[in-house]
Amino acid sequence: MSIKPAVDLKIAEQILARYPAEPRHLISVLQDCQLAYRYLPREVLELVARRLAVPIGKVYGVATFYKAFSLTPRGEKVLRVCTGTACHIRGAPLILNELCSRLRIKPGETTGDLKYSIEAVNCVGACALAPVVVVNDVANGQVNVTKARRLIGVSTAAAKDGN
């Protein structure tokens, strides 16, 4: 599911006011906007392009080049399920499946209430802890289905009831 919330451009205006209106501040401005909106809305990219006098194509180029930027809304919690070899062998597909079915979204999607996003990612460099799920910037190791449910606030009792 992909839901785009209404965009409050005042936030971007406040961010832009913190920087001189020069092209060299593009990445810093985009970083602040990403943090504030949790993604880079089209309207914000257009505003930033105008204010910093950067061609819109270049702004999109930067916004799509860096993994830290997203053009679609992300949830408050971004669950990155490692699907690298070590994690795959130790059950990552099961965990990914559990999280997706509980939240009723697919990898790359965000829940309608903008609480969770799920991403299937390559090795996150913590193979000894496999399988790994990174929630925002915190790595959770040796994740099993029960632990995966806890990461999204589903208690084991509720899970048994099918809730």
Subset of 103-122 contacting ligand FES (CB under 6 A):
none
The CA distances from residue 120 to 54, 56, 123, 135, in Å, are: 33, 30, 10, 12
Instruction: By CB under 6 A, tell whether 132 contacts ligand FES.
Output: yes
For residue 91, state whether it binds ligand FES (rule: CB under 6 A).
no
Site stretch for ligand FES (CB under 6 A), options 10-18, 32-40, 101-109, 125-133:
125-133
Nearer of residues 36 and 121 to ligand FES, judged by Cβ: 121
DSSP per position, 46-115: HHHHHHHT--HHHHHHHHHHSTT--SS---SEEEEEE-SHHHHHTTHHHHHHHHHHHHT--TT-B-TTSS
Strands 133-135 and 77-82 come out as antiparallel
Contacts of 103 (CB under 8 A, 6+ apart): 111, 116, 118, 152
Count of residues engaged in binding ligand FES, rule: CB under 6 A = 12
Closest-by-Cβ residue to ligand FES is 84
Q: Applying CB under 6 A, which of residues 85, 136, 146, 155 lies at the interface with ligand FES? A: 85
Smallest CA-to-CA distance from 56 within 26, 36, 16 is with 26
82 binds ligand FES (CB under 6 A): yes
Shortest Cβ 101–ligand FES spacing (Å): 21
With CB under 6 A as the contact rule, which of the stretches 37-45, 47-55, 100-108, 127-135 interacts with ligand FES? 127-135
Instruction: Give the total residue count for the chain.
Output: 163
Per-residue binder mask for ligand FES (CB under 6 A), 8-27, x = binder: --------------------
Per CB under 6 A, residues contacting ligand FES are 82, 84-87, 123-127, 130, 132
